Each structure stands twice: as structure tokens, then as C-alpha cells.
Structure 1
Amino acid sequence: MNEVIALSNKVNQEDIETLRELIKDIDTAMLTTVSEEGLVSRPMKTQEVEFDGDLWFFTKKETNKYEEILHDQEINVAYAGKSYVSVRGRAEIVEDLDKKKELWSKAYEKIMQTSYDDPDVVLIKVRAEAAEYWETGNFTKKVAFLYNRMTGQSSKSSDVNETVELNK
């Protein structure tokens, strides 16, 4: 079954809910950035907040991914669980103390060995532009295309509207 989801200037809540369901129970995502040497992926803890079109991750300013995002905001986030999900988007560094406090948990304190109010701690906000997902047990690739909120591109101008058999 082929699914193409296109959003106009308004966020389509049904499309957001589809992606929310696919990633809600996956604790770790792979964040891919662009370095001087090429693409780099690393595991990131998934936020325990409902996906609303934006993904959030914590990092520190002293990391390579921080520098890579400052240089090139195009990223990819991949999830593997009951489904495989690949989200393409644009990253932004957010230093808002209230937002950091809202998203912080004891797990981050242990992982990052600091607190949310450490000036070295920042958030990576990923604005989802497109997403693809494959459900395990179903060998048909299902595509969900989110409207590119930055350029106004519609799904009619994309090449992601075909079904691909992964295994026969």
C-alpha cells in the first residue's frame, strides 16, 4: 500500500499522529549530521514528549555534532523498533533555559553528568521535513511525506510516491 502524506501551510494532525505512533516507544534514535569528512551518525536519547512535527535532543557545545549543525543544518534522524523510520529535516540549536528545564530528566543528568542549567548544555531542535517508514512484517515500503515548511514544496513535486517491494 502506498501512502503519501502532504501537508499544506497548516500541519496535518493525522500525519503527525502517524509518525508519533511509529516513534513513540523507541528510546534511541540515530542522528546523522554532515562533517568535513562526510556523513556522521550517532545514537541520541529520544525525548519523552509527544512528536508535534519537531524532534528534540540534548547535547553539549563541546561536541562535534554541535559544530556540524552550526555549519550545515540538514540532518537525518533514524529510528528502529516495530517500524523503521527515517526523518529528514533541518536542525537548530536552542539555548532556551525554560525549554531545557521542560525536557530535562534524571536520565540526562546521568548521561551528560551535568544539569539542564549548565551553559554548555543545548537543545537540538529538528524540524521534520520528510519521513519514510517501513513496518516490520510488511515488506511494502510505506512513504509518509511531510510538507516542506521551509520552501512550500508540495508532494506533487516529489519523487517519493511509488511503492517499492523490499523482499518478495
Structure 2
Amino acid sequence: MSNLSEHATTSDPKAVETVRDLIGDIETAMLTTVTDAGLVSRPMKTQHIEFDGDLWFLTKKDTAKYDEILKDPRVNLAYAGKSYVSISGRAEFVEDDARKKVLWNKMYEKILDTPYDDPNLVLIRVTAETAEYWESGSAVKMISHLLKKAVGKGSDPKSEPGLTETVDLTSVPKP
């Protein structure tokens, strides 16, 4: 895809709010971690907490992603819905039983095959650093553009349909 330097970067609160609105209704993100063999992505259910620059997920400690994040905390989250959002940041593990209990629901018990008070269960907090988003009026146009770009045609960043901007989230004030 495109290089970060090709786009205007902003820390405008309205742009941050736009990112919040764009990911608000998307249930699942693709979490990409760094491994010795390269990059690995897997689906993760985003916790429904007001986005303030942090995103929350639940996982078990006995997983590959846990080891990968311990070794290299750089991650990317990709959201796809009516719009597309790519969020880069740093992940860390948080032991907070009260927060786990608040975020927990029966679906997790089935997916993770464990209760919320399992000591193997841990929270992942991703502190977002940048977000790129594309608001597309037509997914067909976006897919067409991406395919053209993949084969070396239409690589002019100014021709990207609906690319809004890159948002610097490192200066977002936390409540």
C-alpha cells in the first residue's frame, strides 16, 4: 500500500473522532504481529469501549500472539466495513481483573474456552500511534483501485479513492 510520508498527517481532534466513528461499529479487527518468520494476522474482537487512543482485546497467555507481542510490541489493526481503517501502535499486556470482568460476556467463554477469572486470560491494550483511513463511497471502486495498484498501475497516491488522511494519535489526550 502507500507510504506514510505520502499523506498529510494530523492530530486534529476531529480526525481522531472520525477514526472513532469509523471503527465503532466494526466487531472484528485483524491484529498483525511481528514474528521471526514475518508478519502474522488473526481476527480479534474489539472491546466496545470509547476509543481514546487505546484499543482493548482479550487473549490467553498460552498463545503465539502473546509470545510475539512480548518479543516485539509493534502491531497493526485492520478494520474493514463501510470504510477501511489501519491503526499502527504498540501492544502491552494488562492484568486487571476488574476490567476483564466488565468486558467479559458468555461469548468469550465459548470462544476462549475459559471463564473470565482464569489466570491464563490477559488483556491486550494497543496504544494507537497512527491511523490511516479510507472512506469509500463504493467498495468496488476501492477494490478496483487496490487491484490496479497491486499490478503496478494507478500508484499515484493522489488518485487513491476516498483516502482521507493519516492521523497522528500519539498526542491524543487520555481522560
**Pairwise same-fold verdict (TM > 0.5):** yes
Q: Does 1:6 align with 2:3?
A: no
Determine helix, strand or coil for the equivalent of 2:115: coil
- Find the aligned partners of 1:14 and 1:106 in 2 and give their Cα distance: 35
Within 5 Å, give how 1:45-84 maps onto structure 2. 45-84=45-84
- Find the aligned partners of 1:80 and 1:147 in 2 and give their Cα distance: 19
Report the residue type matching 1:39 in the other structure.
L
| Residue of structure 1 equivalent to 2:162 | 140
Q: Does 1:121 align with 2:121?
A: yes
Q: What is the TM-score with the length of structure 2 in the denominator?
A: 0.76
Determine helix, strand or coil for the equivalent of 1:100: helix
Change (3 A) 1:104 1:13: farther
Count of aligned pairs between the two proteins? 144
| Residue of structure 1 equivalent to 2:23 | 23
Residues 34-43 or 108-117, more deviating: 108-117
Q: Percent identity?
A: 59
Q: Following superposition, which runs of at least 4 residues in structure 1 exceed 6 angstroms of deviation?
A: none
Q: Which has the higher helix share?
A: 2
The structural deviation recorded for 1:102 is: 1.8
Change (3 A) 1:15 1:135: closer
Q: Name structure 1 gaps, 5 residues minimum.
A: 150-168
- For residues 85-127 of structure 1, the C-alpha deviation after alignment (integer angstroms, 9 at most, x for no partner) is 0000000011111111121122211211111110000011000
- Find the aligned partners of 1:19 and 1:146 in 2 and give their Cα distance: 11
| Residue of structure 2 equivalent to 1:131 | 131
- Find the aligned partners of 1:50 and 1:137 in 2 and give their Cα distance: 25
Q: Does 1:36 align with 2:36?
A: yes
- Find the aligned partners of 1:147 and 1:61 in 2 and give their Cα distance: 28
Q: What is the TM-score with the length of structure 1 in the denominator?
A: 0.79
- Find the aligned partners of 1:129 and 1:107 in 2 and give their Cα distance: 30
| Residue of structure 1 equivalent to 2:4 | none
| Residue of structure 2 equivalent to 1:166 | none
The structural deviation recorded for 1:45 is: 0.8
- Find the aligned partners of 2:93 and 2:81 in 1 and give their Cα distance: 27
8 Å contact from structure 2 (residues 16, 167) kept in 1:
no
Q: Does 1:111 align with 2:115?
A: no
